[in-house]
Amino acid sequence: MNRLKGFFYGIITSVTFGLIPLFTLPLMQQGMKFDSILFYRFVLATVALGIMMVVKKESFRVSWKDVPLFILLAFFYTASAMFLFWGYDFMGAGVATTIHFTYPVFVTLLMLALFREKASWVTWLAIALAVCGVSRLSMEGSDLTLDVLGVGIVLLSAIGYASYIVVVNKSRLKGMDSRKLAFYVFIFTTLMFGGKLWIGGGLQPVPDTWAWGNLILLAVLPTVISNITLLLAVRHIGGTLTSILGAMEPVTAVCIGAFVFGERFTAQEGVGIVLILIAVSMIILTGTIRRTLSSFVRKIRPRHA
């Protein structure tokens, strides 16, 4: 049952993360810069989490020993967002998304290198299918031009996000209440973006009430809810499987683009969605697949006298 909950939380995480364009694109069309959007996003997310904890009468108490881990997690989270947006200056958002989605590979490699946690062949096949699926969703036709510096920058984004997942999965913070953990990570993330704004030219004002609405929804759905469910998913099924379930994020983004912003939906994107759904299904059914194949191999294996 806990494993099933983990898969559910992982899918909710990726679907809500995929809502980011729904609230971010209108803000950008109103002239807001990424740094200001991200600062407001995390300020509002921190306030929302604080209110939730007060309403539920949850303790804000943490150990001073946890503070370095909060700062480390905030650093990885901030780095992931900053390098991804920086990568947009070198390549299209679709290609950058594809490169960023290599983070399940880095999660798997970090777990293997640091903790000797090996992944099954089903996991590696699911990663390959998911990356192919995201590529189909993100790239236009077969035209692909990459900037080496841009690729390196977006790979740093993927490594940052993978590191965030691994630290949550393997540190003593894994057992902390998910709301409390997200609350303190967001506090330090807000401080980091605030420092960047202070150095880089200041915070933009919010244009109007409509923009405030988008910022609040951006803070609640793809930030508060997605991070709480991310932490719960990592707790129940581990970092590797949670990261692969993140393939549902671009599926959500493509569906929003087609149904909300009127973007064209192509056969290539349809193939990408099918590949991702197969990958996600493989992860959920990993145990069943391995047991079924093992049973089949035993039946066809020649018996020697």
Q: Which residue is listed with tokens 């973006």?
A: 193
In the prediction, which pLDDT does 302 show? 64
In the prediction, which pLDDT does 192 show? 94
CA distances from 262 to 136, 254, 269, 302 (A): 19, 10, 15, 58
In the prediction, which pLDDT does 42 show? 95
Is 219:44 a contact under the CB 8 Å cutoff?
yes
Residue 177 lies in a domain: yes
Low-confidence spans in the chain with pLDDT less than 70 = 92-95, 97-98, 138-147, 263, 302-305
Residue 84 lies in a domain: yes
Gap between the Cα atoms of 217 and 220, Å rounded: 5
Residue 187 lies in a domain: yes
Residue 305 lies in a domain: no
In the prediction, which pLDDT does 92 show? 62
Residue 23 lies in a domain: yes
In the prediction, which pLDDT does 252 show? 80
Gap between the Cα atoms of 158 and 44, Å rounded: 25
Domain holding 252, by residue range, is 2-300
DSSP state of 260: T
Per residue in 29-57, pLDDT tens?
Answer: 899 988 899 999 999 999 999 999 999 99
Torsion of CA 10, 13, 18, 20, to 10 degrees: -160
In the prediction, which pLDDT does 94 show? 60
Per residue in 88-138, pLDDT tens?
Answer: 778 766 667 667 878 888 898 899 899 988 888 888 998 888 888 877 776
In the prediction, which pLDDT does 181 show? 96
Residue 206 lies in a domain: yes
Find, among 165, 305, 172, the residue nearest to 244 by Cα.
165
- Name the helix (H) or strand (E) containing 278: helix 267-284
Cβ-count burial 48-78 (b if 16+ within 10 Å, e if not): bbeebbeeeeeeeebeeebeebbbbbbbbbb
In the prediction, which pLDDT does 173 show? 93
Residue 204 lies in a domain: yes
Gap between the Cα atoms of 186 and 41, Å rounded: 10
Gap between the Cα atoms of 21 and 44, Å rounded: 18
Total of domains in the chain: 1
Q: Which residue is listed with tokens 């150990």?
A: 63
Residue 6 lies in a domain: yes
In the prediction, which pLDDT does 86 show? 82
Is 241:124 a contact under the CB 8 Å cutoff?
no
Q: What is the CA radius of gyration of the chain?
A: 20
Q: Which residue is listed with tokens 């093992």?
A: 294
